[in-house]
A and B are shown apart, each in its own frame.
Chain A
Amino acid sequence: AQTVTQSQPEMSVQEAETVTLSCTYDTSESNYYLFWYKQPPSRQMILVIRQEAYKQQNATENRFSVNFQKAAKSFSLKISDSQLGDTAMYFCAFMTHVGGSARQLTFGSGTQLTVLP
Chain B
Amino acid sequence: GAGVSQSPSNKVTEKGKDVELRCDPISGHTALYWYRQRLGQGLEFLIYFQGNSAPDKSGLPSDRFSAERTGESVSTLTIQRTQQEDSAVYLCASSLNRGSLNTGELFFGEGSRLTVL
Smallest CB–CB gap between A61 and chain B, Å? 12
The closest CB in chain A to the CB of B56 belongs to: A104
CA of A100 to CA of B48, assembled, Å: 16
**A108 contacts across to B, CB distance below 8 A:** 42
Contact of A105 with B45 in the complex, beta carbons under 8 Å: yes
A43 is contacted by which of B42, B48, B99, B111 (Cβ under 8 Å)? B111
Asked if B23 is at the interface of the complex by the 8 Å CB criterion, the answer is no
Cβ–Cβ contact B50 & A101, under 8 A: yes
Within 8 A of B (CB), among A84-100: 91, 95, 97, 100
With contact pairs A50-B103, A103-B48, A109-B41 given, residues A43 and B89 touching in the complex (Cβ less than 8 Å):
yes
In the complex, whether A44 has a CB less than 8 A from a CB of chain B is yes
Q: Is chain A's binding surface mostly helix, strand, loop or mixed? A: strand
Q: In the complex, how many residues of chain B place their beta carbon closer than 8 angstroms to a beta carbon of chain A?
A: 27
Which residue in A33, A45, A95, A101 is a CB contact (below 8 Å) of B108? Answer: A45
Contact between chains at B105 and A47 (CB < 8 Å) = yes
Contact between chains at A97 and B42 (CB < 8 Å): no
Q: Is the CB of A45 within 8 A of B93?
A: yes
Asked if B104 CB lies within 8 Å of chain A CBs, one says yes
Q: B90-117 toward A: CB 8 Å interface, digit per residue (1/0)?
A: 0101010101101111101111000000
Residues in A whose Cβ lies below 8 Å from that of B100: 100
Is the CB of B12 closer than 8 A to any CB of chain A?
A: no
Given contacts A42-B110, A44-B111, 17 further A-B pairs with CB under 8 A are: A43-B89, A43-B110, A45-B93, A45-B106, A47-B106, A50-B103, A50-B105, A91-B43, A100-B100, A102-B31, A103-B56, A104-B48, A104-B56, A105-B33, A105-B106, A107-B42, A109-B42
A interface residue numbers (CB < 8 A to B): 33, 35, 37, 42-47, 50, 91, 95, 97, 100-110
